[in-house]
Amino acid sequence: MNDLAMHFKHLRRVFVWELPVRVYHWINALAIVVLCVTGFIIGNPPGIMFGGEAHESYWFGTVRFLHFASAYIFLFNFLFRLYWGFVGNKYANWKNFIPTNRRFFKEMWEVLKIDILQIKSGEHLSVGHNALAGFIYFLTFIAFAVQCITGFGLYAAMSHSLIARMFVWVSPFLGGDFALRRWHHAAMWFFILFAMVHVYLVFYHDYVEGRGEISSMGGGWKFIEEEVFEEQNSKTSA
């Protein structure tokens, strides 16, 4: 042992993301990738020269089918996550996402200063979502809702299914399919930008904190230092 020994920390394993949350996360990620790719193609189909007859091909129909099929998965997965916000563990609870008190805002500001603007040194520890992240996820939930409403609003014209029928009010309410399409298309960019920042920040946290941020969505656990664990507990009990 040398004097570096003081650096060695005992890590405690904390179970953060329960299995349903992890499954939700990856289904959601996959559905969003498929929806963005197929949606982009629906909006900007590539030019294809084709010698045969129309009945020999159905590729555009298939792309649309994939879009609609993943749309259903996306919707139900989303609804499930909303439900889990009420029955899941404390890190999955809806209170992580909606600012309900001043502490939430203070923490958001703190994270902004430490991790984003980096005008304050040190690190901010939160085992689950930090307040800023939680709030951004809240915005993504709104984006999910926007995309489901505009998407199923458009889909109502193409389907007689019960779920699609539930959205017939959308088009007249929001000024017709022109407006729906435009917002539906524009909202795609929110998903793309979010994904970029999200993936970057996961790497960032893993890199500067070393607590297993990236792998937590696989096994469900993060690791925090023994001292930090004690400190957190004394803070909350005080």
Please pick, from the candidates 30, 40, 141, 179, the single residue that binds ligand HEM as defined by CB under 6 A: 40
The window from 91-99, 101-109, 131-139, 170-178 that contacts other proteins (CB under 8 A) reads 170-178
With respect to ligand HEM, which residue has the nearer C-beta, 42 or 228?
Answer: 42
Q: Could you say whether residue 151 binds ligand HEM (CB under 6 A)?
A: yes
DSSP, residue by residue, 154-184:
HHTTT--SHHHHTTTTHHHHTT-HHHHHHHH
Chain center to CA of 136: 9
Pick one of 81, 184, 205, 211: the residue that binds ligand HEM (CB under 6 A). 184
Exactly one of 90, 210, 219, 233 binds other proteins (CB under 8 A); that residue is 210
Strand partners, 223: 13
Sequence-ordered strand ranges (E) for the chain: 11-15, 221-225
Interface stretch with ligand HEM, choices 33-41, 111-119, 208-216, 225-233 (CB under 6 A): 33-41
Phi, psi of 224 (to 5 degrees): -125, 150
Contact call for residue 169 and other proteins (CB under 8 A): yes
Enumerate helices (H) and strands (E) in the chain, giving the number of each. Answer: 9, 2
Q: Which of 35, 92, 132, 170 binds ligand HEM (CB under 6 A)?
A: 35
